[in-house]
Chain A
Amino acid sequence: MTTHQPATSAANETKAILEVADVTKTYGEGHTQVTAIANASLQVQQGQFVSLLGPSGSGKTTLISMIGGLLTPTSGTIRLGNEVISSMSKKELTRLRAERVGFVFQSSNLVPFLTARENLLYVASLPKNHDRKAAAKRADNLLAELGLSERANNVPEKLSGGERQRVAIGRALMNDPDLVLVDEPTAALDTALGRQVVELLAREVKQRGKTGIMVTHDLRMVEYTDEVFEILDGKLTKSTGNAALAVH
């Protein structure tokens, strides 16, 4: 990770791998202009797993989309490691997402006609320089770690909801990303299974020294994260333990 150290951090400050500075996103113009995110700033250190908590319509999806290089902010900067992603072209963002960002979607969104193992290998084939042999080995290791070795050659249809989300976690970690973005991972799961999945996510992210951000509206899931950011009506605040409870 040393190559991704920010160039301009102050000496006494811990080096944040992700830095969102004064980011605003507006849609539309004039009277119909809507501000989805207003002057949001946050920093996440390498190895941290944080949650972004907020009700639906609060702007949390917009914020995480900008952090993941899916949307471009109207103003402000977003820096991931040594790359300023807020000013990248679409093509550069596609490359960035393939190489440095892992996604876990609400409904796992696995490729239905690829097996669990092939789903992992598919994302491994996305970056320009990829080593097929190394990818195969890495996929097998990940599947073993996620307890999916026996299910590696099953298509998603043959997997349970929890297994599917575990494959999705494996897929997100496959390219050894700096940042793992998780969008309501428990939306399609019951509480017990949801807890297992989030626990697994938290463990994998920390063990591998990744940085993780989880979007959720489920307060019960924040206990697995190091820090909680709250978002309400487009305004982002860092929450203390009790304030987090006030959201619900």
Chain B
Amino acid sequence: MMLAFAEIRRTRGRFLSIIGALSLITFLVLTLTALSDGLFYGSTGAYRSSNAQAYAFSTDAEGSLIRSRVPVSDVAAYQNVEGVTQASGIGVLLASGTGPEGELDLAVFGVEPEGAGVPTTVDQGRMPTPGEDGAAAVDQTVADRGAGIGSTITVGDRSVSVVGITKDSSYQLQPTIWTTIPTWRAMQASVRPETRGLPPSLSAVALELSPGTDPNSIAPVTDTTVLSTADAALAIPGVKEQRSTLNSIIYTTLLVAAIVVALFFALIVLEKRELFAALKALGTSTGRLGTTVLTQALVASVVGVIIGVAIARLLGLALPAEIPTLFRLDSLIQVSVFTVVASVLGALFSLRRIARIDPATALGGALQ
């Protein structure tokens, strides 16, 4: 301990360089994680905020709300399935709308306001009441673009007035509006002329289950597939792929952190070969020298991580709102722990080198 801290204190410059490198790596990983989380949470908000534990899709839709189409009669059919306490139809439409400040790309959700599949994150105002056509609750991101409570949003030839604001309920990075099924259907008919004249249908059926029921144990109605809400979120096109791409970048960066630390301490040990040989000759065990190096790696990485977190948070505040980033505490803790662990693992590589130093070389000036 004495050696570890005295060296950091008295040769501050070189330790600042490794701390600097680690803080930049932490900053990079945290920013990537925030982007990954931003994409993931921005894509899956409608599911994560839902009061439904499972969704039934048409089998050919592969779990996508956009592709799925089920007959209205499925709602009543699911009502009778064991384990289901409430089944409600939901309709989804991706469309452009117009708000007070111009055009909005929207995901319109038609729901049964007191049924399943409704966001539980109403922050201000309320959801439309059953039968209250022409009213909608909107996601915070819509309100942020000027369409707060009391304003009017138009999709096709249909307008709704905003009566409430929900949080964290976007879908596929689109801001959502939550209205009644008849209003949704009218909007769909207006912007998708090809759906006119077809028998009325729904996108999917949202299911509330009795407590303790495994979503995978629900017997599906003909031509439909049941997914738990979490699985349905991962089935959104692109979500899994984005996550795995960004995760590979993050893991690669952590690997780089380990290599940087490994090289740094390899150099330090190389440079101190002569001193370490003398210290061993004086009766210092290899274990004690190794502990010194590991302690230094731990201190450098903890300080580096703290600085990196600070930079990432400060820069995160400066990022424009269009970039979907999300700084989450659990991700932050995970990244911090991983970086520290990667650093210590990197430093472990120096132990072999320390073990190989022969104390006998301290005598006779063999290294001079």
Which residues from chain A sit less than 8 Å from chain B, CB to CB?
A: 61, 64-65, 68, 70-71, 91, 94-99, 101, 103, 105-107, 109, 111-114, 118, 121-123, 125-127, 155, 171, 181, 183-184, 187, 215
Contact = CB atoms under 8 A, between A and B. Distances in A.
A125 B282 CA distance: 11
A37 to B, nearest CB: 13
B363 A111 contact: no
Contact of A71 (B2, B280, B360): B360
A189 B365 CA distance: 15
B362 to A, nearest CB: 6
A215 B275 CA distance: 20
B281 A103 contact: yes
Interface string B272-312: 00110011111111000000000000000000000000000
Contact of B360 (A70, A123, A184): A70
Given A99-B283, A113-B7, A113-B11, 6 more contacts: A61-B363, A64-B363, A71-B360, A94-B280, A113-B3, A113-B10
Given A68-B363, A107-B365, A183-B364, A126 B3 contact: no
B284 A126 contact: yes
Contacts of A64: 363
A105 B365 CA distance: 8
A174 to B, nearest CB: 10
A68 B284 contact: no
A11 B328 CA distance: 81
B359 interface: yes
B363 A70 contact: yes
A127 B368 CA distance: 29
Contacts of A91: 285
Interface string B335-368: 0000000000000000000000001101111101
B2 A106 contact: no
Which of A64, A105, A125, A155 has its CB near the most chain B CB atoms (within 10 A)? A105
Contacts of B282: 97-98, 103, 123, 126, 171
B6 interface: yes
B359 A70 contact: yes
Contacts of A98: 282-284
Contacts of A155: 10
Those 5 A-B pairs whose CB atoms lie nearest each other, nearest first: A98-B283, A61-B364, A109-B278, A97-B283, A113-B10
Given A111-B279, A112-B275, A105 B284 contact: no
A70 B357 CA distance: 12
Contacts of B11: 113
A123 B280 CA distance: 11
Nearest to B366: A61
B6 A113 contact: yes
A184 B3 contact: no
Interface residues on B, range: 20 to 34
Nearest to A101: B283
Contacts of A114: 2-3, 6
B360 A65 contact: yes
A146 to B, nearest CB: 18
B2 A68 contact: no
Given A65-B360, A70-B359, A187 B365 contact: yes
Contact of A109 (B3, B360, B362, B366): B362
Residues of B contacting A: mostly: helix
Nearest to B9: A113
A215 B364 CA distance: 9
B278 A106 contact: no
B278 to A, nearest CB: 4
A97 B275 contact: no
Contacts of A127: 283
Contacts of A171: 282
A107 B368 contact: yes
A91 B275 CA distance: 19
B362 A70 contact: yes
A146 B280 CA distance: 25
A114 B364 CA distance: 24
Contact of B2 (A101, A103, A105, A118): A118
Contact of B283 (A61, A94, A183, A184): A94
Nearest to B361: A70
Interface string B1-32: 01100110111000000000000000000000
Contacts of B284: 94, 98, 126
A184 to B, nearest CB: 7
Contacts of A103: 278, 281-282, 362-363
27 contacts: A61-B364, A65-B360, A65-B363, A70-B359, A91-B285, A94-B285, A96-B283, A97-B282, A98-B282, A101-B283, A106-B364, A107-B368, A109-B275, A111-B3, A112-B275, A113-B3, A113-B9, A121-B2, A122-B2, A122-B3, A123-B282, A126-B283, A155-B10, A171-B282, A183-B365, A184-B365, A215-B363
Nearest to A62: B364
Which of A94, A121, A155 has its CB near the most chain B CB atoms (within 10 A)? A94
